[in-house]
Chain A
Amino acid sequence: MITSARERFITYAILLVFVIVALVPVWEIVATALSSSSAVNTGVPIPDGIHLHNFVDAWNRGHFGSYLRSSAIVAVTVVVAAGVFSTLAAYAFGTMRFPGSTVLFYLFLLGLTVPEEALVIPLYYDLRGLSLTDTYWALILPQTAQSVAFGTFWMRTYFRNSSRSLIEAARMDGASSWGVLWRVLAPAGSPAITTMVVVTFMWTWNEFLLALVMVSSDSRRTVPLGLAFFQGAHSSDVSLLAAGAVLVALPVVLVYLFFQRRFIEGMLTGAVKE
């Protein structure tokens, strides 16, 4: 199609403007994190050199080392547990027929739209009754359940579209349903599984409300919660705060940059109903 140079220019200009809009707050954080404390407080942050000591301070003085550890424990457990549970369930929903499967699947689908706010109050009292509040379990169990809804929905689509003949051939060769899943379908489905893993990882890593409600001791705080508490205590130490924010965001951003296609694909499908 013939497009004039003017049209091209306008298109790229608009794109660029919005990219800048998307990056300004990010720049705000990164630049502040790199500045020495005396150099901030100007409205437009331009770092006066690169002061990495802010990160060291955040790590030690701000306990971010400990927060990152908590976050890693919770996120890895949730991703693995929810990933395995979802794959198993989606395999059954996608390839097998059994009474009640449709109803159960729709129940999962509803679970995708229920906001966490409608669950968090009973969850708190239930888990407190089991003496599980202020443990990692109080973060792991509810988030596994919430991720399972998305994971099952997401993986079922893959299993539905996986080749019938492939499954039948494997079964003819004497593979059990378990063998078909782990030796045939799961390896072929690694793109779908990767998407599920990275999206679940991000949601778990960024989770705030649940951590705020469930965790009271400093050593079990996850990074988002740690940053919020740090902000309450050191609101004037701007560059330290910004360095903490970078530490919160960096793991997810790195995974995002690496798997951007899977990430975007997964997040855009998360709330799509059939």
Chain B
Amino acid sequence: MAATESGVRERPTRSVAPPPAGLARWRRRYARRSPGEPRAIGYLYILPAVAVFVALVVVPFCQSVWYSLFDWDGLSVATWVGLGNYRSMATDPTLRAPFLHALTLLIFYALLPILIGLLLAATLTRVRVRGLTFFRVMLFLPQVLAMVVVALAFDFIYAPDGLLNTVLGWVGLGGLSRAWLGDFHLALPAVGLAGTWVGFGLCMVLFLAGAQSIPRELFEAARLDGAGAWQEFRAITLPALRPQIAVAATLTIVAGLRNFDLIYLTTSGGPGNSTAVPAYEVYHRAFETSQVGYGAAVGIALTVLVFVLTLVASRLIEGRRG
């Protein structure tokens, strides 16, 4: 940091006193590369951003790691437990359940939207669509709505006298109707489908852009060779869309694992703890049941999960290309 300050103070061209040896070496390395360009002043430009980022992201993250090593109720003296919180997270089935729920939800949050998006992309490569902007804007709309609003809409839809049960009644399946979000087995998929609704438009928009930029000649050649729709999709569309699929997977997995709002607002983890997910557990433990250390540990485990899953997903999808 000392080097930073002196570097900023003396602009390289105007220094009078000979700089200390370390600084001179530093200057030789960096000043020579691009003459006429500001260099050390770069630190001044990044200072505000780095300052807020370090103070409010990096430091709290490290604190979270620290907190996670304690048993602490937020008030009294904390007890060091080392990796104890993580150990119970891995071994106790009730504590492990939220992570399994989150992975199940990824089927709805990530896999289904990507499959729906691909279905659309597959049909679209054969036809030049007019009014694409209109479709894009409408399909992407769920992405910009606050989760509070989404949660309320699905609360209405899943209510005992709501839209879903009414429609089931119309088609003669009234026997299936129930309070969807109160059902031990069906609450999780019900919330998951709300997540599917949020995510599918994003995937479609991504794949639409990708599919429409595949050269038409490829399809014409495939058709001359007598390829059907499915072969065309496997041989041309799917490989061409790999980068977009990787992006979609990253975005939906990250969003899916971070889904605190939707769970908190629709089911609060219930009934029982059948829809509890890590993002919800962080809040619930730290701010509702005074298990601050354990809450922090769940937050850190969630971060690791996000990193690992996004990395694995993009490797799996993009890696095969090479």
Of A48-56, A142-150, A188-196, the one contacting chain B is A142-150
Instruction: Tell me the smallest distance from the CB of A119 to a CB of chain B, in Å.
Output: 4
- Indicate if the CB atoms of A25 and B197 lie closer than 8 Å: yes
Of B41-49, B80-88, B183-191, the one contacting chain A is B41-49
- Does A233 count as interface, using CB distance less than 8 angstroms? no
Interface residues of A in 20-47 (CB under 8 A from B): 21-26, 28-29, 32, 41-45
Work out how many contacts link A and B, with CB atoms closer than 8 A.
309
Given known contacts A1-B220, A152-B49, is B135 in contact with A99 (CB within 8 Å)? Answer: no
CA distance in complex: A193, B150 (Å): 28
Given known contacts A122-B67, A252-B145, A256-B144, is B254 in contact with A271 (CB within 8 Å)? Answer: yes
Minimal Cβ-Cβ distance residue in B for A119: B60
0/1 string, B197-240, CB within 8 A of A gives 1: 10011101110000000001001100000000000000000000
CA distance in complex: A238, B156 (Å): 9
- Indicate if the CB atoms of A98 and B145 lie closer than 8 Å: no
Chain A residues near B143: list those with CB within 8 A.
267
> When the two chains form the complex, which single residue of A96, A108, A126 contacts B38, counting CB atoms closer than 8 Å?
A96
Chain A residues near B153: list those with CB within 8 A.
25-26, 28-29, 245
CA distance in complex: A228, B262 (Å): 11
Chain B residues near A273: list those with CB within 8 A.
250, 314
Chain A residues near B282: list those with CB within 8 A.
117-118, 120-121
Given known contacts A3-B127, A120-B282, A267-B143, is B206 in contact with A208 (CB within 8 Å)? Answer: no
- Does A80 count as interface, using CB distance less than 8 angstroms? no
- Does B152 count as interface, using CB distance less than 8 angstroms? yes
> When the two chains form the complex, which single residue of A18, A24, A117, A224 contacts B139, counting CB atoms closer than 8 Å?
A18
Chain A residues near B317: list those with CB within 8 A.
none
CA distance in complex: A273, B254 (Å): 13
- Indicate if the CB atoms of A117 and B299 lie closer than 8 Å: yes
- Indicate if the CB atoms of B30 and A248 lie closer than 8 Å: no
- Indicate if the CB atoms of B52 and A144 lie closer than 8 Å: yes
- Indicate if the CB atoms of B302 and A270 lie closer than 8 Å: no
> When the two chains form the complex, which single residue of B146, B202, B247, B300 contacts A118, counting CB atoms closer than 8 Å?
B300
Given known contacts A29-B156, A209-B283, is B138 in contact with A122 (CB within 8 Å)? Answer: no
> When the two chains form the complex, which single residue of B41, B142, B152 contacts A227, counting CB atoms closer than 8 Å?
B152
Instruction: Tell me the smallest distance from the CB of B27 to a CB of chain A, in Å.
Output: 10
What are 18 sample pairs from A and B whose C-beta atoms fall under 8 A apart? A1-B216, A22-B200, A25-B150, A42-B161, A98-B30, A99-B26, A114-B57, A115-B299, A120-B286, A121-B296, A148-B49, A208-B147, A208-B261, A231-B152, A249-B145, A260-B140, A270-B251, A271-B251
B residues at A contact (CB < 8 Å): 26, 29-30, 33-34, 36-43, 45-46, 48-50, 52-53, 55-61, 63-64, 67, 74, 116, 119-120, 123-124, 126-129, 133, 135-150, 152-154, 156-157, 161-163, 165-167, 169, 197, 200-202, 204-206, 216, 219-220, 247, 250-251, 254, 257-258, 260-261, 264-265, 278-279, 282-283, 286-287, 292, 295-296, 298-300, 302-303, 306-307, 310, 314
